[in-house]
Each structure stands twice: as structure tokens, then as C-alpha cells.
């Protein structure tokens, strides 16, 4: 089974989501449109869940 399926809060998934967030900001030039803002918010929620999973797994 894939590590991302067994450990959804893995460092890899949090890092990948963080990279997507950074890329979104770079593409937008620092000012998000309404659609980009919605994408950003969804990515941040997923990133936070991945980080929480990582912390729980480490405990």
C-alpha cells in the first residue's frame, strides 16, 4: 500500500501541499483572485490536516 494512503499526514504530503500553496502565490503575483482565494483556502485546510496527522503519528 502507498505510504500516502496509509499515512495521510505524512511529511511528504504536507510538503507537497506547501509547495502547491507557494506556487499559487507565485503565479498570482501576491494578489489572489476570488477563485485563487478559494483554492488557497482549500489547500491550507488540507495542509493543516496533513500537519496534524504528522504530529499525531509522531506522538
Residue-wise pLDDT for 2-58, tens only, equals: 344 445 545 679 999 999 999 999 999 999 999 999 999 999 999 999 999 877 766
**Per-residue DSSP letter, 32:** -
Nearest by Cα to 45 from 37, 57, 35 = 37
Domain that includes residue 20, residue range: 3-58
Q: Does the structure show a pLDDT above 80 at 1?
A: no
Neighbour count for residue 57 (Cβ, 10 Å): 12
Q: How many domains does the chain have?
A: 1
| C-alpha radius of gyration, the chain, whole number | 13
pLDDT at residue number 54? 78
Name the residue among 19, 17, 9, 15 with its Cα closest to residue 55: 9
Q: How far apart are CA 29 and CA 50, in angstroms?
A: 26
Amino acid at each position: 500500500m502507498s505510504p500516502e494512503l496509509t499515512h495521510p499526514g505524512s511529511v511528504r504530503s504536507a510538503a507537497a501541499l506547501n509547495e502547491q500553496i507557494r506556487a499559487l502565490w507565485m503565479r498570482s503575483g501576491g494578489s489572489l483572485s476570488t477563485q485563487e482565494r478559494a483554492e488557497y483556502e482549500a489547500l491550507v485546510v488540507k495542509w493543516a490536516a496533513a500537519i496534524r496527522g504528522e504530529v499525531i503519528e509522531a506522538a
